[in-house]
Structure 1
Amino acid sequence: MIAHSANNPVQLSPVGGGRLELVDLQREFGTYKVLDGIDLTVERGEFIALLGPSGCGKSTALNCIAGLLPLTGGEIRVDGRAIHELQPEQRGFGMVFQSYALFPHMTIRKNVAFGLTMRGVPHAEIAERVDAALDLVRLKSQADKLPGQLSGGQQQRVAIARAIVIRPSLVLMDEPLSNLDAKLRLEMRAEIRAIHQAIGSTTIYVTHDQDEALSLADRIVVMSRGVIRQVGTPEELYERPVAVDVADFMGFRTRITGRVTDNAGTVEIAGARFALPAAREHAPGTPVTISVRPEDLQTMEGAGGLAATVRTIEYRGRAWFGSAMLADGTIVYFQADSAYPVGAAASIGIDAARTLVFTGESA
């Protein structure tokens, strides 16, 4: 409940709608399958992030849910009712676009009121609900300005207010922070999460930024080439990605091939040997791919690490981060306590407990 005044509270919670189901969702453009059998159940009130690289199908999936693109196969259901043949306005979902999509000639108040006006809501109720939405995004004092008079972050908050004022059961957000600078993105993350918690709507949020997904979502859906690769909580995705491509997208930037040499989990990598707990389940002789985050590859004194030549080095506040090349040409990304000259030799150790090991089947 978001109160417009102490005597006249205005309800902004969603009206209708519950469980969203995507069943064998397919979308083709000619012979190219952008979505190739997406199955996903989203419970009421969840915050779901669709995460993946450009071209993986995440925005297409969102547009199909919104009704902006027709399906070429599968169904979209809300509480068991198929809705995929309904027009966008019949679905009653709120949409927040990357480009804000505000009407430049309308005041902020009129922009937010637009959806209610189109639905024929009485004027007095429109005024109350718009005030409540603007209060929620902390822009009531800007109500009579035009979009061009506001900052990018403020315009995005207007777009959010316009989406939630219709009391949607589902809010769809398509990379809403990508046009903002780094500081504003951080601020808006907190805003979006707070608004989601305040109104109780289900939210599906498209992003290519793993930090956004980790900080915002209850569950993350990692997509690649039109299919879902893994679904899990932020902790599950961060700590236990199930495949190399998922690991790569969750920050495990270094990918090195090796071979298990014994039953104790020793792996030979680029001429060096490392005892890796995750390799114990693989038989000796098994070819494997290991994935490691930069902060888990540290320069070390003496031999025993990966022998590499430094390619780049940069300072990021508390530590130095760089890239280096192994003898076979593999690039690894590491952390160091001090700067290394480009071209210098470095020995790089591996945090064995935080290294993932994949076989060809899981890679």
Structure 2
Amino acid sequence: MTGRETPASGRELKFRALMAELRRGILDGTWPPGSKLPTERALATETGLSVTTVRRAYEDLVALGLVERRQGAGTFAAHRPERGDTGRRIVGVLVPDTTFYYPRVLQGIERELAAAGARLVLACSHYDPDEEDAAVERLLSAGVHGLLLVPSLHTATDPGRRAEELLALPVPAVLVERRLAAHGPGDPTEHVCTDHEGGAYDAVRHLRALGHERIGLVVRTDAPTTAPIESGFARALGDFGLPEAPPYERDVMARWDPDRADRALAALRAAGVTAALCFGDREAALILGAARRAGARVPDDLALISYDNEFADVAETPLTAVSPPKYALGRLAAQILLRRLAEGEAAPLHQVQLRPRLVVRASCGGGRGGGRGGVGGAGAAGHDTGGAQKSKE
């Protein structure tokens, strides 16, 4: 991230970073069960965050069952049964990051495992393939019964071979937000993913319903989500009779800065674009800033839809956003793995996609069914354009 985000989004990101750090410390034994955590004021002083932010983090950890508050005594790491407890399942979870996107997925996983009396062991790969392998080995050494994995298939030289390696692990594995899309029915993995193609399709459908005929796409290219977003976008253009070759402004995440956003906006406007889908929230916020600098009005001169909905609601003009069902996705992945552990080969193979919601805010210029130039609300109220599950059993 750059230092150009809005103050509100900066606070939210710092809160999530604090949550991730506290969660790691509790799960890896930095704070063993029963040990006392720092006071809210002490932790606020140490991190530079407000007492209110620290209190919110502790309250969320209480809700997850990771800490407990004792009136007059303080905050303590919760007692959790040991690995050897009879009948208690241990589930290893590997994510590439615990700050962006995956905190809500983890909350869904934690909720479902806790309800089933299962224990979670967390590892993070930091998008490093070598660390990914080492993390899987650590999880197996911890005695896990099954794995929920977010592997780096999109950067693998041979994704199919990498998937085969994961399927050959000595415990069942369910992939989360990863599948072998290019393999079609040849994909042998059990997985739960967001239907990013459908999410992009719904964004274009909404903009077309508002009267836009020239719609552009802004994406960062170094993400596994990019390919299905581009595919869904292109399919929607064809289905809705829109021009087949609108401007695609594509670049790696590190190069998306205000200057790059200014150039992208200039290209969009020169091509007569009146609306754009931006992946993700950060890139959409940069385009929003570029529009302000250029004297263009959002949504009057350029309607915007963001893809991700991590901090779209706190942008200068609240951004309509495609919102992946991260919490539900985590819960469902955990349910599927627990079923696999209970039933073994008798359980059907689950290959599930969850359709994102389109949350309508001010940046697109209209609510559901509104015409071009209609008045859109600036709040977080949205409508569900999908939400269906596709399951292959």
| TM-score normalized by the length of structure 2 | 0.29
TM-score (norm: length of structure 1): 0.31
Q: Which has the higher strand share?
A: 1
Query: Over alpha carbons, which structure has the higher Rg?
Result: 1
Structure (1 or 2) with the greater helix fraction: 2
